[in-house]
């Protein structure tokens, strides 16, 4: 803002002439050229290495989910999937330190009845695929995780909720992928596409940008790599559904950021 100039009194007591304020047109031009702060973009999600959890009792409940395929109501059945942020082929050495994990819950869509979604073109770092979405099977929730004690909840998580769909497609062979996450480093073989996870609005909470899907592949250890051993010590998780402890059973899927298009 421009200050309104007053009279300046000189040392001899004589009054100085007033300082003129800029004309309205000049002031408007100055305001118009003032640069505005650019919004800070939300980073794209990390790749995730996902693990199956040992079964434990859980009280079911229902939530609403709205993704690019429309609004639905689903029953949340139980937690079944823990996904660690992962460094894939050395692309991001800091990925394993990201505090935002995903806890996946098995779901059953109750309203409306699900109809197969066909011919969805998915492109990721491994190439392009045309997929059919067979059924929704997971809701993933941004979660804090610790291997030593119950963690505090995430503060303003940047990850979206994802509604995941089982997909139908042939085999995809990727000879070797190197993975680093909180559970260690190893070489994996990517075997086939298995699940596509779409950003979803849960209970009207909104969707963060960017709205980037995750394409998940079944993986197996490369020749010479040891199999994953089930954990005896608990893993501690905290998310908007509350605190929980779990045991990790075995390695499941590698999920990587993707783009999605279709008819």
pLDDT computed for residue 15 by the predictor: 44
Helix and strand tally (H, E) in the chain? 1, 15
**Alpha-carbon distances, residue 12 vs 5, 9, 16, 17 (angstroms):** 20, 8, 11, 14
pLDDT computed for residue 62 by the predictor: 98
pLDDT computed for residue 27 by the predictor: 43
Provide the phi-psi class of 82: left if phi over 0, else alpha when psi is between -120 and 50, else beta.
beta
* pLDDT tens digits, 165-175: 999 987 777 87
Q: Where are the domains of the chain?
A: 48-261
Residue 151, C-beta contacts closer than 8 angstroms, at least 6 positions apart: 144, 145, 236, 237, 238
Residue in 121, 221, 130 with CA at minimum distance from that of residue 175: 221
The pTM for the full model equals 0.83
Whole-angstrom Cα Rg for the chain? 26
* pLDDT tens digits, 151-208: 999 999 999 999 999 999 877 778 799 999 999 999 999 989 999 999 999 999 999 9
pLDDT computed for residue 170 by the predictor: 72
Q: Tell me how far the alpha carbon of residue 150 is from its chain's centroid.
A: 22
**CA–CA–CA angle 153, 143, 40 (5° rounding):** 85
**Alpha-carbon distances, residue 26 vs 30, 31, 35, 57, 165 (angstroms):** 6, 9, 16, 70, 58
Q: Are 175 and 188 in contact (CB under 8 A)?
A: no
Residue in 208, 206, 231, 248 with CA at minimum distance from that of residue 40: 208
pLDDT computed for residue 235 by the predictor: 96
Q: In the chain, which stretches have pLDDT less than 50?
A: 1-33
Q: Are 217 and 258 in contact (CB under 8 A)?
A: no
**CA–CA–CA angle 137, 144, 47 (5° rounding):** 60
Residue 239, C-beta contacts closer than 8 angstroms, at least 6 positions apart: 103, 141, 142, 143, 144, 153, 154
161-168 and 127-146 beta bridge pairing: antiparallel
């Amino acid at each position: 803002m421009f200050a309104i100039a007053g009279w300046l009194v000189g040392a001899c007591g004589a009054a100085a002439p007033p300082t003129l304020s800029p004309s309205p047109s000049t002031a408007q031009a100055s305001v118009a050229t003032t640069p505005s702060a650019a919004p800070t973009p939300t980073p794209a999600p990390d790749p995730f290495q996902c693990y199956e959890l040992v079964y434990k009792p859980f009280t079911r409940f229902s939530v609403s989910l709205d993704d690019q395929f429309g609004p639905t109501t689903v029953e949340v059945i139980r937690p079944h999937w823990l996904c660690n942020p992962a460094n894939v082929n050395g692309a991001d050495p800091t990925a394993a330190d990201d505090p935002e994990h995903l806890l996946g819950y098995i779901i059953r869509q109750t309203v409306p009845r699900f109809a197969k979604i066909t011919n969805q073109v998915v492109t990721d770092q491994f190439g392009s695929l045309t997929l059919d979405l067979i059924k929704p099977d997971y809701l993933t929730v941004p979660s804090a995780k610790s291997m030593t004690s119950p963690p505090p909840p995430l503060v303003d998580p940047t990850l979206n909720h994802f509604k995941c769909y089982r997909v139908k497609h042939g085999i995809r062979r990727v000879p070797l992928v190197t993975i680093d996450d909180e559970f260690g480093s190893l070489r994996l073989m990517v075997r086939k596409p298995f699940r596509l996870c779409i950003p979803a609005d849960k209970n009207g909470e909104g969707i963060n940008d960017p709205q980037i899907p995750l394409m998940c592949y079944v993986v197996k250890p490369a020749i010479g790599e040891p199999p994953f051993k089930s954990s005896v010590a608990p893993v501690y998780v905290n998310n908007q559904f509350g605190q929980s402890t779990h045991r990790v059973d075995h390695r499941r899927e590698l999920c990587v950021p993707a783009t999605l298009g279709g008819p």
